[in-house]
């Protein structure tokens, strides 16, 4: 597994829920609330009429409080409206925040170890790479674009219903080379230095850890420099002819409007080396914060 999580179905469900709740809220404002107001007036008038013909000792001890209780009962939303129209403001706020500002994701795989671990719950800035309409993903406002070193969430090109998370290695026009486990961008080898070992609690083993700098971002990766470097594309992908594969790795020219991404866990990441480039239209946002990991609360915080 290399995905951040699947969110398309949830987005559609949330949008459908928003439409239903808005329709109920609008109907309540225009029709049902007025009907309840008329009903409240009729019941209060009936109460006053009944009180007028009753003997004094049978009348309500506090007529004003009785009128208020009758009115409130008549004005109260029925259960179906309470759970549709009543929830509309909450659903609208959640939909706006999730669609345009910040969206939560869960990391289910180890492709971004050591930066992100399985079980990390992260936040993704939805407007870092432009404001997009929810569900249809059409960009309506240009804000920014991915930079080398960004940890980016995107819709997987082969299955847009899945959201993937990887690190941006190459931007449009870049020459990306991954030969003998060493990464070069535009002919310059990316700085790499030993950073001790990473202990994988799931596998109960240690793995070589290195510090890598992409652009202005210094981060850690896992890779085994002594292992074979042969890489094979899983099958054809758009702009496949922009890549050259060999016994020692590959070299690619990133097409316009596309990005080359890789996982920080280099030997355990299915990424652009195998399935190709990420189109600009598939971008979701920039991951920037771990807000919870129930297995390790020390994980909470920002990351690079």
Residues marked active site are found at: 111, 166
Angle (nearest 5°) at CA 181 between 153 and 221: 45
3-state DSSP call for residue 200?
strand
Contact predicate 14/91, CB 8 Å: yes
Residue 115 CB burial class (10 angstroms; 0-12, 13-18, ≥19): buried
> 126-130 long-range contacts, Cβ below 8 Å, gap at least 24?
126/98, 126/99, 126/100, 126/101, 126/102, 126/284, 126/285, 127/100, 127/101, 127/285, 128/285, 128/286, 129/283, 129/285, 129/286, 130/283
DSSP letter at 25? H
DSSP string covering 212-229: EEETTEEEEEE--TTS--
Contacts of residue 282, Cβ cutoff 8 Å, sequence gap at least 6: 137, 154, 155, 156, 157, 160
Tokens of 223: 């890779």
Burial of 251: CB neighbours in 10 Å, binned 0-12, 13-18, 19+: middle
Tell me the torsion sign for CA atoms 276, 277, 283, 284: positive
Burial of 2 from C-beta contacts in 10 A (0-12 / 13-18 / 19+): buried
């Amino acid at each position: 597994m290399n995905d951040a999580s699947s969110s398309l179905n949830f987005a559609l469900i949330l949008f459908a829920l928003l439409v239903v709740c808005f329709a109920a809220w609008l109907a309540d404002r225009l029709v049902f609330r007025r009907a309840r107001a008329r009903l409240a007036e009729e019941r209060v008038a009936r109460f006053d009429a009944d009180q007028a013909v009753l003997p004094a000792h049978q009348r309500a001890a506090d007529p004003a409080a009785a009128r208020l209780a009758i009115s409130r009962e008549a004005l109260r939303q029925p259960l179906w409206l309470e759970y549709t129209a009543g929830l509309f403001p909450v659903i609208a706020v959640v939909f706006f925040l999730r669609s345009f500002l910040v969206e939560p994701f869960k990391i289910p795989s180890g492709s971004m170890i050591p930066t992100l671990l399985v079980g990390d719950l992260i936040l993704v800035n939805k407007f870092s790479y432009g404001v997009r309409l929810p569900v249809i993903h059409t960009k309506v406002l240009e804000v920014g674009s991915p930079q080398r070193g960004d940890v980016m969430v995107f819709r997987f090109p082969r299955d847009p219903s899945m959201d993937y998370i990887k690190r941006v290695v190459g931007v449009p026009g870049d020459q990306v080379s991954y030969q003998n486990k060493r990464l070069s961008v535009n002919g310059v080898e990316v700085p790499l230095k030993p950073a001790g070992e990473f202990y994988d609690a799931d596998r109960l083993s240690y793995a070589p850890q290195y510090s890598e700098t992409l652009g202005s971002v210094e981060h850690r990766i896992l890779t085994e420099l002594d292992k074979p470097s042969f890489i094979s594309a899983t099958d054809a992908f758009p702009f496949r002819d922009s890549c050259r594969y060999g016994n020692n790795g590959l070299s690619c020219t990133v097409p316009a409007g596309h990005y080359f991404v890789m996982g920080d866990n280099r030997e355990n990441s299915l990424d652009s080396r195998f399935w190709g480039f990420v189109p600009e239209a598939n971008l979701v946002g920039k991951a920037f914060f771990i807000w919870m990991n129930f297995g390790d609360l020390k994980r909470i915080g920002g990351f690079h």
